[in-house]
Every structure is written in structure tokens, then in C-alpha cells.
Amino acid sequence: AELVPSSGFSRLLNVQDASAPEGLREQTYRFAARSECQMCHNPWVEMKTTSVGIQTASPLGLSLMQLNRQSDGSDSENQLVSLQKAGWISGKIPTAPKEAARFTDPYQTTAPLNDRVRSYLHVNCAHCHQPHAGGSAIIDLAYDVKLEDTKLVNAKPGQGAFGISDAALIRPGDPSGSVLHYRLAKTGSGRMPRIGSEEIDETAVSMIREWIREMPATETATPTVNSDNSALLASLLTSSSEARQSAIQQLTSTTRGAIELMLWVQHSEATNELRQEVVALASQSNQPEVRDLFERFIPASKRAKRLGTAVNSSELLAMEADSERGRQLFLREGSTSCRNCHKIKETGETLGPDLSQIAKKYTPSEMLTHLLEPSRFIDVKYIPQVVETVDGLVHTGLLVERSETEIVLKSVQNKEIRIAMSDVESMTSQQKSIMPELLLRDMTPQQAADLLAYLNSLK
């Protein structure tokens, strides 16, 4: 094998695909950087896998629920039994593996829909989205957590709504109003799963869309936004080119309309030429939240070039940039969501440092380093703390106050958590910043340069 650099490497592949034009589609394969590997193979996962010894990289899939399945081959022996017989597993395994908890194959359509979705979310998302594992959204996607305790249903998006009206992380009965569905259906900045996923998993997105659609609305839910775009969508098959352009502009004027148009491109009986025409027009939207929904239909070699993880700092710093575009990027919901943590004058939140005069403190080169490696230098005031109580509860946040009687933390949702000192079992400093890693990865070089220009203008 040939090792790639620590910054990782991307390669464009031509994959045989009968459904693609001329039987080939382009796909970018990513050989992950070390920093990307560490985002999933994190210390919290490490703590949960100590039964298999101290690891140089936490084994994400090594759990009884993941291994509890039938062995490949003609016999029907359980895989846990086979692995134990072969000497790969020591210790106890369930005496009746078929009755023990196990993940469900998400692509097995005969299995219960909820089991398929929860298994998918656990395997693809829960290594970050569980308490204290580094995900900036305070949700818990572990399989064994009850849906009402995941902090998903009717929860306000803490990292931006991407222009979706009446958005929630999950809005029961309303997939188009659910940020979880949107993030899985898009490319670019804000896409999930964030690491190891360069292409849209169409089957998984459809499965989760159906799961949300089947959820009964709750009493506390805001009434679903009703937007009937069926006439506009139907007109795409029959109208003139000029009328189609007008319909597409109306549909892509909102994120909800763009989602409906994306689904039309996927499932319509339109000709390939008409689909390409629609994609070309929708991809010209001035809203990145809309453009990112249609990039999947464009060959990889023709997509917007993202900055990635191998950043040439000197080239980026030398680029011509527009600070006003950078300001708009800073304030925009959804992708970078800088304002959710940082304040500039009267705009933004106070979870992170005030950036109103940040350019007085750092040179352009130092500013870029902080964006690329947020955990490299952490001001003592912003070192995350994990407090475990005598009752086994665990709280994470920034230390606001510590006295003889209580500890006060500020959560990533910018809310105070007060814990009586008599209830504290332990408090541990973390080495990972609450500022997201790889923040610039999915931006274009121009977007990153514009954002830097804006930050460097704040004096």
C-alpha cells in the first residue's frame, strides 16, 4: 500500500453505472486526513470500547449489536458464535444471540422502518452526536435512546435552518421542514454525515424522508407550512422553455420549493435532457442552500471546487477577496453559522470570543490558523469542561464560575447549567475546542478568502 500525506488525498474515479449517461459516473474518493479520522475515532468512543483493549484508533463498528448477525456463507450460524469459535472473540457473548439487541440492515425493506432508520443514524452519526463526543448539535442519536430523548423532534435548529421556513431538526409529518433530512440530501457546507461521505445516499435519504412523513404530529408542534407547488412542478413537463425558467425561479426562491424540485428531478418521468435543463437552471441560484441540493446531479469534475483539508495557506492569503461577501457568509444561517457562537458589535451570540476587534489581536496568517486548527490554541476561558455528578449525570460546557457552593457552566446552546458543588463527582478539562473542526473544508477557496478578508477588517 502507498500511504497518502497526513493531510489526506482525493481521487476522481469513473464508476460503471447503468443509470448514468453513457454508463459512467464520476465520483470523488477521499483518503481521509488524520484530522478527519480523529473526528469520528474520538475519545468518547474510545471510552466505550475499552473492553477490546487500548486502541490507537477507536473501533467504531466493534460492538455486539453491530456484530450480532448471521455469518456469511451457506450455514446459518450467528457471527458472534463463529468469531468466538475462531478465537477472535474472548469472554462472554449472549447465550441466545438471536434474542439479543442488534442493528437492522437499513437497506432491508422488509424490516421495520424505525429500526432501519435508528440503526442507520447510530452507525453513521452517533459517534459524534452523543453526549460529549464533539458534535456541536446537542442531540443523541444512539440506537438505544428513545426518540423523545434524542432532542430531535420539534427541536429548533441550533446551527441554522438553511432558509427552511418553520424548520425543526425533525418536524413530524413534514420532511421538507426537517433539517435532518435536508442535511442528508445536500452536498457542500453543512452536509451530514460530515466525514467519509462524498455522495448522497439516495436510499437512506428516501428512507428517512418516509420515516419523518409517517411520524404523527405532536400537540406542541407548530402547524406545518402548506405550500402547494404541484401546478408549478406539473408545468415543467408541458410548458415552453421560458415558462419552465419562470417556474424554476419560483420554486428555487425558497428552500422548501427547491427540495420539491430536487425530488421532481429524481423521480419524474421527464427526459434526461429536460432534467439536465432543470438542474442547470437550479444550480444558478444565488442561494447556496438551493445550489447544494442540485450539485449531486452534476458530474464531480464540474462541481464547485471545495477547499478540502489540504489547504495552501499562502495561496489562500494571497487571493483577492471581498470583505462584504465575507460578512454575508459570516451572518448566513446553516453552513458556517459563525454568528451562533460569536458576536460582532450588536450581532451574534456570546458563547465564543467577541470578534468585533479580532484583527487587532491576530495577523491574517494567525487568523487562518485558528480557523483551520481551532483546538491548537484554546484560550483558558474557552476550554470545555466535563462535569460528572454523584448521580452519574454528565454535563459539558465552558466554565463560567466556580465557588465553594456551585459550578456554573455555559452549554454550547449558550445556556447556563448550575451544579451544586456537593453533587460534583469530578470535573475534567477537554483538549478539543467547541469550535467545529474542518470549518473551511466545504467552502470554495473564494468563500474562505472572503471570510478571512472580513475577519481581517475587524479592527
On the question of pLDDT at 413 being above 80, the answer is no
Higher-pLDDT residue of 415 and 454 is 454
**What pLDDT is recorded for position 115?**
96
Burial of 391 (0-12, 13-18, 19+ CB in 10 A): exposed
**What pLDDT is recorded for position 53?**
41
- In angstroms, the CA 169 to CA 160 distance is 10
Among 165, 170, 163, smallest CA distance to 141 is for 170
Torsion 143-147-150-154 (CA) sign: positive
DSSP secondary structure string for all residues of 200-215: --HHHHHHHHHHHHHS
Range 28-53 average pLDDT: 65
The answer to whether the CB of 374 falls within 8 A of the CB of 309 is: no
Long-range contacts of 162-166 (CB under 8 A, 24+ apart): 162/186, 162/190, 162/255, 162/289, 162/333, 162/334, 162/335, 163/254, 163/255, 163/287, 163/289, 163/290, 163/333, 163/334, 164/255, 164/256, 165/225, 165/254, 165/255, 165/256, 166/222, 166/224, 166/225
**What pLDDT is recorded for position 49?**
47
**Domain residue ranges in the chain:** 313-376+437-455, 384-429
Higher-pLDDT residue of 62 and 361 is 361
Range 112-119 average pLDDT: 96
- In angstroms, the CA 444 to CA 63 distance is 38
Say yes or no: domain 384-429 is CATH 2.30.30.100. yes
- In angstroms, the CA 193 to CA 32 distance is 14
Among 178, 151, 445, smallest CA distance to 312 is for 445
Residues 6+ apart with CB under 8 A from 281: 244, 245, 248, 249
- In angstroms, the CA 369 to CA 452 distance is 11
**What pLDDT is recorded for position 55?**
42
**What pLDDT is recorded for position 260?**
96
Residue whose entry in the numeric block shows the C-alpha cell 473551511:
440
Range 362-366 average pLDDT: 94
Q: How are the residues of the chain apportioned to helix, strand and coil, as percentages rounded to the nearest 5?
A: 40, 10, 50
Helices 113-125 & 202-214, crossing angle to 10 degrees? 130
On the question of pLDDT at 54 being above 50, the answer is no
Q: Which tens digit of pLDDT belongs to each residue from 293-343? A: 999 898 877 887 888 777 889 999 999 999 999 998 888 766 567 888 899
Q: Which tens digit of pLDDT belongs to each residue from 257-292? A: 999 999 999 998 889 899 999 999 999 898 889 999
pTM over 0.85: no
Torsion 189-191-192-195 (CA) sign: negative
- The SS3 of residue 315 is helix
Q: In degrees rounded to 5, what are phi and psi of residue 185?
A: -90, -5
On the question of pLDDT at 117 being above 80, the answer is yes
Q: In degrees rounded to 5, what are phi and psi of residue 168?
A: -140, 165
* Architecture of the structural domain at 313-376+437-455: Orthogonal Bundle (1.10)
Mean residue pLDDT of the chain comes to 86
Q: In degrees rounded to 5, what are phi and psi of residue 389?
A: -95, 165
**What pLDDT is recorded for position 5?**
85
**What pLDDT is recorded for position 329?**
87
Domains 313-376+437-455 and 384-429 share a fold: no
